[in-house]
Structure 1
Amino acid sequence: MTDPNFLHAGDHVHLGPGVTGTRQTNPAVNLEDLPHVDAILLSHYHADHFDEKVEQSLRRDLPIITTPHAKDHLSNKANESFTNVNALDFWEDLTVDFTTSQSPPGTQPKPQIHVTGMPGTHVPPGPLAAANDLLGAVPPTNGWMLELGYATHQSPPQPPSDHSASTFQSGYRIYISGDTLLFDDLHKIPEMYSSHTGKSIDLMLIHLGGTTIPSPKVPLLMVTMDSKMGVQLMQVINADVTVPIHYDDYDVFLSPLSDFQKAVEEAGLHSKVVYLERGEEYRFEVKKEG
């Protein structure tokens, strides 16, 4: 599960000094109605991605993969800390093993997910970013590359690790942008993952909305991608399919989905976007050698 947020319409979150957000929508499913969760992938420690209800309700030994900043907070809580938090910085990686009811112990190949931290920034590079590093007003954020696949032998995960010599075979790649602005480091992603390297990206989940602080009525600073940046990132990443997410949950968004839809049409990229309503599914197949 990624960035769990299960507040309801009308609930409030704290997003930074003097900045709050009000939830505009209800979740498609309530937290207590979820199926078993194997792990959490948390892009950053912000209440609109990891709310108080989630923090109080999750079991303390649940594996969480997140930023070093978020690990510091989750592992050193005044009450009961989370005990299985793994920190990944940009380009660091780890492998998660899964045991399924269809795959008894010892069965080959073994399903795995390879997670790599991708660059992200909530604050424009430059003086503002330097000031934020000192003040800590806006938390650091990651994107993620998820490679779903199989290993043909059982081996314990070695986080963070370079598994280039292992038998892991990626059958599907998902890039999750996280709450980021468009900046130079994102151009390094297609250098590593593209059809030219034999590692094409199948799906991109792109965080949009053009989040502004302190509010859309007083838009002093934009901290997530708006529609223009979103289309530019589509052109940079060149994923087979893009699904926009996180663009209308709170009242801090300046750029509605309709802006992105218009920009996508103008760029001639409409065939590469899937729009999902809450509760809808997008299904795909993880390729398996042999």
Structure 2
Amino acid sequence: MQHISIDPSNVHPPTRDGSVEELSQSLPSAKASRTHPSKSGGENASIYFVGTATTILEWHGVRIMTDPNFLHAGDHVHLGPGVSSMRKTNPAVDLHDLPRIDLVLLSHYHGDHFDHHVEASLRRSLPIITTSHARSILTSKGTDSFTNIYDLEPFQQMMITIKADGYGPAKAPPALRVTGMPGKHVPVAKPIEKLNEFVGAIPPTNGWLLELGHGHDAGDFVPGYRIYITGDTLLVDELKEIPRRYGGPGKNIDLMLIHLGGTTVPHPSLSPFTLMVTMDAAQGVELMRLVKPEVTIPIHYDDYDVFASSLEEFKGAVEKAGFNGGGGGVVFLDRGEEYRFAVRQ
């Protein structure tokens, strides 16, 4: 198992042209702060929703960013041969106004998850956990390569210990365990899969299980909160392995960040000559039934014009399924809002 250490006391700007003197000390104040629908108290961690699939998690002084995309309304991304998409929204914070970032979880190498400004701007030593496909690209740029890239296959794990005062042999320090989770970004049909392999339009993708807890290493790690980040996936059979491994007392998933949108390529207006490559509202509800997270937060739902399944459709499907309230509830965040939660000690 790979193992790295993070020291949040180290001062380092997230972008190459940023300076320590100009480094923002914190994210903008959240427009609103949400907590568990039926339980609250003792919150010691938060997730800030930037937009698209970009979130920033803060715990024990560490900031973890998912799928950094900081383009603005009217900007375009390239999504494959002959396919582009226009962003319809603005991020809640600009790339060059970010505070220190300690780790990036990158589900796959696609412009709406790792845009060209992000790729050009992020500091080259920033630790990034991603797919083997993305790693091969980000480390193949000669002197401009990223230098701290790690890749995980489904159910492979990686430990990240956090340097903090007051911990030692008798008291386990805060730590993170990241597990690669399965995902399929193309429909499960042999002709389509073979065509995609040939043209390379849609790259391989991962989900993640991020566990926050305490431990010196993998042998004594005790998780205190589990977050499943789906990545850009459809509802495929491989996901059935998740509740087999993470379900039941002491193994449940506390929070699921679910990528929705019903992304349709090359564009929804070209139906019926299109493919859906991320979950729509109906598939999202079915995944909730399968995984049974304590709380679900939808992200990646309206930022680009290739998204065909709206957040309102998901809200309707959730209400029809009776998932609101208590365990299995849904928390809806707008860009610039945060969800606060408690990591068990």
Using the size of structure 1 for normalisation, the TM-score is 0.92
Structure 2 residue runs without a partner (length 5+): 1-64
Alignment correspondent of 2:110: 46
Matched, 1:265 2:319: yes
Matched, 1:33 2:97: yes
CA RMSD, 1 decimal: 1.3
Matched, 1:111 2:165: no
Alignment correspondent of 2:337: 280
Within the candidate set 253, 260, 268, 1:208 is matched to 260
How many positions carry a matched residue from both structures? 274
Structure 1 residue runs without a partner (length 5+): 156-162
Within the candidate set 213, 221, 227, 1:149 is matched to 213
State the structure with bigger RCO (CA 8 A, min sep 6), 1 or 2: 2
Measured in 1, the distance between the counterparts of 2:267 and 2:166 equals: 52
CA offsets per residue over residues 88-110 of structure 1, 9 Å max, x none?
Answer: 1111110111224xx25748321
Alignment correspondent of 1:158: none
Alignment correspondent of 1:182: 235
Shift of 1:216: 1.0
Alpha-carbon spacing, 1:35–1:180, altered in 2? closer, same or farther (3 Å): same
Measured in 2, the distance between the counterparts of 1:251 and 1:36 equals: 31
8 A Cα contact 2:265 2:306, kept in partner: yes
Using the size of structure 2 for normalisation, the TM-score is 0.77
SS of equivalent to 1:45: coil
SS of equivalent to 1:191: helix
Q: Percent identity between the aligned chains?
A: 58
Shift of 1:78: 5.4
SS of equivalent to 1:14: strand
8 A Cα contact 2:81 2:199, kept in partner: no
8 A Cα contact 2:80 2:200, kept in partner: no
Matched, 1:88 2:152: yes
SS of equivalent to 2:69: coil
CA offsets per residue over residues 212-251 of structure 1, 9 Å max, x none?
Answer: 0000101310000000000000000100000000101111
Segment of structure 1 superposing worse, 256-265 or 108-117: 108-117
